[in-house]
Structure 1
Amino acid sequence: MPLDTVHTVHVVHVGQEPPQSWTAAVYLSGPTPTDPAEPSWRADAVAALRSAWSGAGRLVVFVPEPAPGGAYPAYADQIAWEEEAMRRCDVVLFWIPRDMARLPGLVSNIKWGAWCDSGRAVLGTPPEAERMEYLLHFAGALGVPVERTLAGAAAAALRAIGAGRARTGAERAVPLTVWRTEPFRRWYADHRRAGDRMLDARVEWYAPAAGPAGEAAWLLTVTVGPGDGSRAPAPVRLLSAQGQGMLM
């Protein structure tokens, strides 16, 4: 069977290196039980994604917990791994079953605040979760999909991904929300024809399309290595404005 027709799910645990290529990537964000006797919800999330993923290629799922039998890295290393994984993912799937006595999810509030307007968030929270009104308010205001079951949140994440797009190396740092836009595709095609190499990328700002016929606006910092070797790799900033194409 050709590789581009095989759909697989690759789980990357904290401290592990991700594969060099993927079609889509999801980060599982939310509170982690501190009681070792309480199972983590992330195993069920991975199972739901695995059973529903039908895209051609590899779906990577970032899990900020150690692999079975493993251990957490140092705290600073944990944070660095999480931040790197989140910036490279196509969807940040939040599952917040908040119980203030058992699973308060305080760090999840910070992560939600950082990613709720990224165009990549999905919010899952059961009806009985405590103190979720503020998060739900902004989910509604920002058009973030909201689901009340973990399976529903996984399905919403895959709907946002759709068929995905194959990316390798530094291309993995460009999420689907930007990768699919015509201004980025045109810019990247021009630079590839010139022999230039994309070495890294980071989304600095994103605004969704104003309507069904509109296009998203975004600001992307890209490190480009000139194909002719005439100068050192350098960062460039690309701004795509709604209805105006690439401005810089």
Structure 2
Amino acid sequence: MRLFYVHEQSAESPKRSLFLAGPSPRGHGEYDWRKDACAVLSHIGFGGTVYIPLPRDGMFRGNYDHAAQIEWELEHLEKAGVIAFWIPRNLKTLPGFTTNVEFGRFSRSGRAVLGYPHSATKMRYLHYIANLDGVQVYHNLEETLVAAIEKIADQNY
């Protein structure tokens, strides 16, 4: 499995790739669900590329370039074979407002999978849109990632 973090570039555009979309921690001690996601992907033997829209050390610095962050994310959302949206929404620590926009932008792409725990708040609208657009919905991180990998395999890359 190859991991690419924000601002890191890969020369190729691998179709056996997965973008881990969802709310990002902004401070010390906030839940970074992507670490769990990478552990799950490793455990189930995913051999593709994973795009992670966080700095490699997990910390955004005060002087970070917001426009460059957005450009990297949009480029890699387009490049990814599948976009796995995991939204453990907590309005105080992981609100996921940007994630809402990204989901709306890519829900009709045929490349999205949506997951969120039952405890996540304010998810009814996204779930409704997922149903309209034929996006699979799960409530467990591992099931979400397995579905994303199966979607990659179904695309016959």
Whether these two folds match at TM > 0.5 is yes
Spell out the pairing of 1:1-248 with structure 2 (5 A cutoff).
Answer: 9-20=1-12, 22=14, 24-53=16-45, 58-68=47-57, 73-162=64-153
> In 2, Cα distance between the equivalents of 1:70 and 1:35?
7
> In 1, Cα distance between the equivalents of 2:27 and 2:59?
16
Query: What is the Cα-based RMSD across aligned positions, in Å?
Result: 2.0
The amino acid that maps onto 1:128 is S
Task: Determine the structure 2 residue equivalent to 1:237.
Answer: none
- CA gap 1:83/1:69 in 2 versus in 1, 3 angstroms: closer
How far has the Cα of 1:162 moved from its partner?
Answer: 1.2
> In 2, Cα distance between the equivalents of 1:21 and 1:131?
34
The amino acid that maps onto 2:50 is V
> In 2, Cα distance between the equivalents of 1:77 and 1:102?
23
The answer to whether the 8 Å contact 1:27/1:86 transfers is: yes
The answer to whether the 8 Å contact 1:25/1:62 transfers is: yes
> In 2, Cα distance between the equivalents of 1:102 and 1:154?
23
> In 1, Cα distance between the equivalents of 2:153 and 2:135?
16
The answer to whether the 8 Å contact 2:90/2:120 transfers is: yes
Kindly provide the CA deviation profile for residues 173-197 of structure 1, in whole angstroms up to 9, marking residues without a partner as x.
xxx5xxxxxxxxxxxxxxxxxxxxx
Look at both structures and tell me which one has the larger radius of gyration over its CA atoms.
1
The answer to whether the 8 Å contact 1:30/1:94 transfers is: yes
- CA gap 1:30/1:20 in 2 versus in 1, 3 angstroms: same
The answer to whether the 8 Å contact 2:30/2:93 transfers is: no
Structure that is richer in helix per residue: 2
Kindly provide the CA deviation profile for residues 26-80 of structure 1, in whole angstroms up to 9, marking residues without a partner as x.
00111011221124100111111122235xxx50100000112775641111111
The answer to whether the 8 Å contact 2:86/2:114 transfers is: yes
Which ranges of structure 2 fall in alignment gaps of 5 or more residues?
Answer: none
After alignment, is 31-40 or 102-111 more displaced? 31-40
> In 2, Cα distance between the equivalents of 1:114 and 1:48?
26
The amino acid that maps onto 2:69 is Q
Q: Detail structure 1 runs of 4+ shifted over 4 Å in the superposition.
A: 69-73
> In 2, Cα distance between the equivalents of 1:51 and 1:99?
27
> In 1, Cα distance between the equivalents of 2:12 and 2:104?
29
Kindly provide the CA deviation profile for residues 201-235 of structure 1, in whole angstroms up to 9, marking residues without a partner as x.
xxxxxxxxxxxxxxxxxxxxxxxxxxxxxxxxxxx
Percent identity between the two aligned chains: 35
The amino acid that maps onto 2:22 is G
Which ranges of structure 1 fall in alignment gaps of 5 or more residues?
Answer: 1-8, 166-175, 177-248
TM-score, reference length from structure 2: 0.89
> In 1, Cα distance between the equivalents of 2:128 and 2:54?
29
> In 2, Cα distance between the equivalents of 1:17 and 1:11?
10
Count of residue pairs the alignment pairs up: 155
